[in-house]
Structure 1
Amino acid sequence: MSNRFAQLAFTPAVQEHQRLHGSDRAYRRMADGSEAADPIGRDEAAFIAQRDSFYLATVSETGWPYIQHRGGPRGFLKVLGEHTLGFADLRGNRQYITRGNLDHDGRVALFLMDYTHQARLKILGRARVVEAADDPATLAALTVDGYPGRPERALLIDVEGHNWNCSQHIPQLLPRDGVEEALVSLHDRIADLERENAELRQRLPQPQ
């Protein structure tokens, strides 16, 4: 866990519970150090580039948290710099809950999952909305060519902190396309073996 993520996540109430349950010593040093924002390193950038979905949390003006799933082609969430992420916000059900929440509070949390390899990355940051009419070039740069959907705006996220979680309790799920490809290969191999077996049977002496 990075220092900055711990500084943001370990509020006084959290630290009190750590003290009560005996984990304060293990976590205390994580909150020490510089308050500079965490850079997006090579490992984080590679992980982000492979994701085809993530969960985005915002906070409403009445204080309720809201989590939304965002999906797209692999790599649609782009690393734009050492501290910046961005993606094109496509038109959905037109409820605009996330969009409205960001007018009130730009703080966001991203939860990126890799179920195949049982890995996850949490990101805390501040989102900036760029409407299409205000900066069409930025939106165009984040739009994935050929992907269906109407991009309405760009969301830029200034990363404050990030944290890799352990793999404990993450279910190992395999992508459907990978499973289907493996099944097709297995089916073809079985068909080849059945043909070979039939040919060998024909060569055997026939019973009198």
Structure 2
Amino acid sequence: MTSRYAQLLFTPPVQLHQEHHGSRRNYAAMAEGPAVADRLTAAEAAFAAASTGFYLATTGSTGWPYVQHRGGPPGFLRALDERTLAFADFRGNKQYITTGNLDTDNRVSLLLMDHPARRRLKILGRARTADVSAWPAAAGPLVPDGYRAVPERIMLIDVEAYDWNCPQHIQPRFTPAELEEALGPVRERMASLEQENARLKERLAGAEEVDRAR
């Protein structure tokens, strides 16, 4: 956990609960440090680039929190630099709850999951939208070839803090593509064994015919 993440989330009420449950002393040290925004490293950038989905939390004008899933092919979410994340916000059901919430409160929280590796990355930031035409060419294609979704806008996240969370209670889950990659060698081995088994059966059948002919 970075010091900035602790500074933002360890509010006075949170600190009271930490004190009550005996964890305040350890967590107090985590908040020590300059009150400046975190910078993304190569690890966070790579994790984002490999993601095919994440959860995005906003707060509405009435104070109710809202969580929405955002997904796309690998690379739809990426770090433009050490302070900025961006993703292609594809056309959906036109409810615009997340977009409307950002009009009154631009603070967001992102939760990125890697179920096979049992890893998660939590990010705090401030979101702003931009027209698709504003996508920087240096960042590469906004939408990979063959992906049929239509980007409606670009969402830019000015990162404030992040935290790599522990793997406890994360159940390993795999996408069809991940399963195919993992099971490919097994299937090849099984096919090879089946072919070898068929050859052995043919030899055995031939030997039995020879025995009967004697």
> Which runs of 5 or more residues in structure 2 are unaligned?
none
Q: SS at 1:61's partner residue? A: coil
Q: Which amino acid aligns with 1:36?
A: V
Kept after mapping to 2: 8 A contact 1:77/1:86: yes
Q: SS at 1:192's partner residue? A: helix
Q: If the length of structure 2 is used for normalisation, what is the TM-score?
A: 0.89
Residue-by-residue CA offset, 1:47-98 (whole Å, 9 max, x unaligned): 1111111110000000001000000010211101111111121110000000
Q: Which amino acid aligns with 1:143?
A: L
Q: SS at 2:199's partner residue? A: helix
Q: CA separation of 1:55/1:139 partners in 2, compared to 1, >3 Å: closer, same or farther?
A: farther
Q: SS at 1:68's partner residue? A: strand
Q: Percent identity?
A: 55
Q: Distance in 2 between matches of 1:25 and 1:182?
A: 44
Q: Distance in 1 between matches of 2:149 and 2:201?
A: 56
Q: Distance in 2 between matches of 1:56 and 1:184?
A: 34
- What's 1:78 paired with? 78
Q: Which amino acid aligns with 1:138?
A: W
Kept after mapping to 2: 8 A contact 1:139/1:154: no
Q: CA separation of 1:127/1:190 partners in 2, compared to 1, >3 Å: closer, same or farther?
A: same
- What's 2:148 paired with? 148
- What's 1:124 paired with? 124
Q: CA separation of 1:200/1:162 partners in 2, compared to 1, >3 Å: closer, same or farther?
A: same
Q: Distance in 2 between matches of 1:183 and 1:51?
A: 21
Pairing partner for 1:138 from 131, 135, 146: 135
Report the Cα offset of residue 195 of structure 1.
Answer: 2.6
Q: Which amino acid aligns with 1:151?
A: P
Q: If the length of structure 1 is used for normalisation, what is the TM-score?
A: 0.92
Report the Cα offset of residue 182 of structure 1.
Answer: 4.2
- The answer to whether the aligner puts 1:63 opposite 2:63 as a matched pair is yes
Of 180-189 and 66-75, deviating more is 180-189
Q: SS at 1:129's partner residue? A: strand
Q: Distance in 2 between matches of 1:64 and 1:139?
A: 34
Q: Distance in 1 between matches of 2:76 and 2:122?
A: 17
Q: SS at 2:160's partner residue? A: strand
Aligned alpha-carbon RMSD (Å): 1.7
- What's 2:195 paired with? 195
Kept after mapping to 1: 8 A contact 2:79/2:86: yes
Of 148-157 and 120-129, deviating more is 148-157
Kept after mapping to 2: 8 A contact 1:139/1:151: no
Kept after mapping to 1: 8 A contact 2:89/2:152: yes
Q: Distance in 1 between matches of 2:198 and 2:150?
A: 54
Report the Cα offset of residue 156 of structure 1.
Answer: 0.8
Kept after mapping to 1: 8 A contact 2:73/2:144: no
Q: SS at 2:156's partner residue? A: strand
- The answer to whether the aligner puts 1:50 opposite 2:47 as a matched pair is no
Residue-by-residue CA offset, 1:144-203 (whole Å, 9 max, x unaligned): 132212212111110000000011110011221222344454344333322322222332
Aligned residues: 205
Q: Distance in 1 between matches of 2:74 and 2:81?
A: 18
